């Protein structure tokens, strides 16, 4: 029997936000709930392959395309995603352009059949709260961060202990089950906005997002009970139970085709590096990728590359340089780095099929920026992490991985790099730091084996969570039933 429930999903147009929400759309549709996902034309091309395959399989998924007026807001033609921005100083332009989709969405809302039962929105897309209010349906936010980060955020907002500290002063994160030390300079932008020209403007935007999200009907999180149990228990109390942990989403991609096409098309044929991985020993390769938005300065990229080379382990390195990619390419060309590491090191320029790579048995460690998607993908792959956080919630995720889960080793980054208007300042991480962390993680001794065993156990728990009878399946059913009851109550009323 067809369900009368219909969930409208509104992602932020950025890979780290769109990818998990596309996965989530498929997960929800598997529970006999109609799903419509709002997307712009270029992103429909980018992510459409996986969505159309889900539709062809019989899942009740629809794609709603709305045009983004990029050029009207000073953006390059075709700029429909945050990772398309030529500079992060255009971030506000992008958000302003995206907010113009509110009226077109309201105009087509009446045409969506059955009538949407709720809106599941990325928490940064605050204007969808007004749409939900207008049509009197629940506004549920998707927060693409860990529960650990959510709890820390709440506790800092309440305690404000960071406000009296200097950037380098240590603090114990308040109200947590574990004793976790950080410095103010490692905290997310809400508590550590930076000193660039736009810092106050950006801080006000973050505070606005925070204020709006507190009024949400509920929250969906890409995590699972077994990984963050003590933090989840505390957070559920704060949210009066209206928070549902329904991940890990990346595990919903069961075949290599979905893994390969999740997010974007490869910049090179994935057969090339997968064939190379096939030739390597099990657990021998380090995969290094610092996310879709991290633009290392050329100096820091050089330290990363040389640290991997000096470690003597086989590696895959994803090359990103943003506006300064030419400097990176010049260094690679002039030093002969690529030819020097040929056979032992593989460079991927642009997009890489991360979940596909991580699932290969040859991969023994993941050097990551600790964005939550990458962190949980590393957990699902069962590999230890080498952590090099850059900005946002990434230092908090590092603490979760290194200190709570015990599956990571830090390279030693000291402070957040603010994307808007900063160049990264002084060098934070040197080749020796990268090499040392790599050797610790790849070590075959007792400590390394214990770390790998913890990673393996987490992988097994992650697999069970989204299977029938698993904790995330149970939580997703609870969420769907909650919306069903709310919808029926509204119809009766």
131-151, pLDDT tens digit by residue?
999 999 999 999 899 999 999
Of 6, 17, 154, 418, the active-site residue reads: 17
Sheet holding 118-122, edge to edge: 61-65, 34-39, 6-10, 118-122, 139-143, 218-221, 243-245
As a whole-number percent, the residues of the chain with pLDDT over 90 amount to 82
Q: What is the Cα–Cα distance from 382 to 244, expressed in whole angstroms?
A: 24
CB 67: neighbour CB atoms within 10 A? 11
- Is pLDDT above 50 for 493? no
- Is pLDDT above 90 for 272? no
Q: Kindly report the backbone phi and psi dihedral angles of residue 257, in degrees, each rounded to the nearest multiple of 5, phi listed first.
A: -65, -45
The confidence score (pLDDT) of residue 462 equals 98
Is the distance from CB of 353 to CB of 260 less than 8 angstroms? yes
Q: How confident is the model at residue 325 (pLDDT cuts 50, 70, 90)?
A: confident
The confidence score (pLDDT) of residue 427 equals 82
CB 345: neighbour CB atoms within 10 A? 21
Compute the average pLDDT of residues 36-60: 94
Helix, strand, coil percentages in the chain from 3-state DSSP, rounded to 5: 50, 15, 40
Closest CA to 74 of 52, 96, 50: 96
**Greatest distance between any 2 Cα atoms in the chain:** 72
The confidence score (pLDDT) of residue 344 equals 97
The confidence score (pLDDT) of residue 199 equals 72
The confidence score (pLDDT) of residue 350 equals 82
Q: How confident is the model at residue 264 (pLDDT cuts 50, 70, 90)?
A: low
Is 452 or 298 the better-scoring residue by pLDDT?
452
Q: Is 6 a catalytic residue?
A: no
- Is pLDDT above 80 for 88? yes
Nearest-5° Cα angle at 69, 65 to 74: 145
Mean pLDDT of the chain: 92
The confidence score (pLDDT) of residue 306 equals 98
- Is pLDDT above 50 for 281? yes
Compute the average pLDDT of residues 9-31: 96
Is 183 or 263 the better-scoring residue by pLDDT?
183
The confidence score (pLDDT) of residue 1 equals 39
Outline where 214-348 has alpha helix (H).
229-238, 256-260, 270-278, 298-311, 325-335, 337-340
The confidence score (pLDDT) of residue 321 equals 64
Which tokens go with 224? 């699972």
pTM of whole model > 0.75? Answer: yes
Compute the average pLDDT of residues 260-270: 59
The confidence score (pLDDT) of residue 87 equals 86
- Is pLDDT above 90 for 431? yes
- Is pLDDT above 70 for 165? yes
Buried b (16+ CB within 10 A) or exposed e, 165-197: eebeeebebbebeeebebbbbbbbbbbbbbeee
Q: Is 281 a catalytic residue?
A: no
Compute the average pLDDT of residues 429-440: 98
Q: How confident is the model at residue 260 (pLDDT cuts 50, 70, 90)?
A: low
Give the domains, in start order, of the chain with CATH numbers: 6-251+468-492 (3.40.50.2000), 267-462 (3.40.50.2000)
Q: Kindly report the backbone phi and psi dihedral angles of residue 360, in degrees, each rounded to the nearest multiple of 5, phi listed first.
A: -75, 135
Of 122, 258, 266, 482, the active-site residue reads: 122
- Is pLDDT above 80 for 262? no
Q: How confident is the model at residue 153 (pLDDT cuts 50, 70, 90)?
A: very high
Q: What is the Cα–Cα distance from 359 to 380, expressed in whole angstroms?
A: 8
């Amino acid at each position: 029997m067809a369900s009368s429930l219909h969930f409208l999903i509104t992602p932020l147009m950025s890979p780290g936000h769109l990818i998990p929400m596309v996965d989530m759309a498929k997960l929800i549709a598997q529970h006999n709930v109609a799903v419509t996902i709002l997307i712009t034309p270029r992103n429909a091309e980018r992510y459409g392959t996986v969505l159309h395959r889900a539709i062809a399989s019989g899942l009740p998924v629809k794609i709603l395309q709305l045009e983004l007026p990029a050029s009207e807001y000073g953006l390059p033609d075709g700029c429909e995603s945050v990772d398309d921005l030529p500079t992060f100083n255009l971030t506000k332009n992008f958000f302003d352009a995206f907010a113009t989709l509110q009226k077109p969405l309201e105009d087509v809302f009446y045409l969506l059949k059955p009538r949407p039962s709720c809106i599941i929105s990325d928490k940064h897309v605050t204007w969808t709260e007004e749409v939900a209010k207008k049509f009197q349906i629940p506004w549920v936010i998707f927060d693409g961060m860990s529960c650990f980060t959510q709890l820390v955020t709440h506790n800092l907002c309440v305690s404000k202990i960071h406000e009296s500290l200097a950037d380098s002063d240590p603090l114990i994160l308040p109200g947590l089950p574990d004793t976790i030390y950080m410095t103010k300079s490692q905290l997310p932008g809400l508590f550590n906005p930076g000193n660039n020209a736009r810092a106050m403007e950006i801080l006000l935007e973050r505070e606005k997002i925070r204020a709006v999200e507190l009024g949400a009907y509920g929250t969906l999180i890409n995590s699972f009970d077994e990984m963050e149990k003590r933090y989840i228990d505390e957070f559920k109390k704060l949210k009066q139970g209206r928070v549902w942990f329904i991940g890990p989403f990346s595990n919903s991609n069961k075949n290599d085709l979905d893994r390969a096409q999740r997010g974007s098309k490869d910049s090179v044929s994935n057969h090339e590096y997968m064939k190379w991985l096939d030739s390597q020993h099990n657990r021998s390769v380090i995969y290094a990728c610092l996310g879709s938005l991290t633009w290392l300065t050329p100096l820091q990229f050089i330290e990363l590359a040389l640290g991997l080379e000096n470690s003597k382990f086989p590696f895959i390195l994803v090359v990103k340089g943003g506006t300064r990619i030419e400097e990176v390419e010049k260094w690679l060309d002039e030093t002969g780095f690529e030819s020097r590491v040929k056979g032992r090191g593989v460079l991927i320029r642009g997009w890489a099929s991360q979940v596909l790579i991580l699932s290969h048995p040859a991969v023994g460690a993941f050097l990551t920026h600790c964005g939550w998607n990458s962190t949980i993908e590393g957990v699902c792959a069962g590999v230890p992490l080498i952590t090099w956080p850059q900005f946002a919630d990434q230092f908090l995720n590092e603490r979760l991985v290194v200190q709570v889960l015990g599956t990571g080793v830090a390279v030693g980054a000291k402070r957040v790099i603010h994307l808007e208007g900063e160049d990264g300042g002084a060098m934070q991480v040197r080749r020796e730091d990268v090499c040392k962390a790599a050797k610790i993680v790849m070590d075959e001794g007792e400590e390394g084996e214990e770390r790998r065993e913890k990673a393996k156990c987490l992988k097994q728990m992650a697999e069970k969570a989204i299977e029938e009878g698993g904790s995330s399946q149970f939580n997703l059913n609870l969420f769907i039933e909650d919306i069903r009851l709310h919808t029926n109550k509204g119809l009766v009323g």
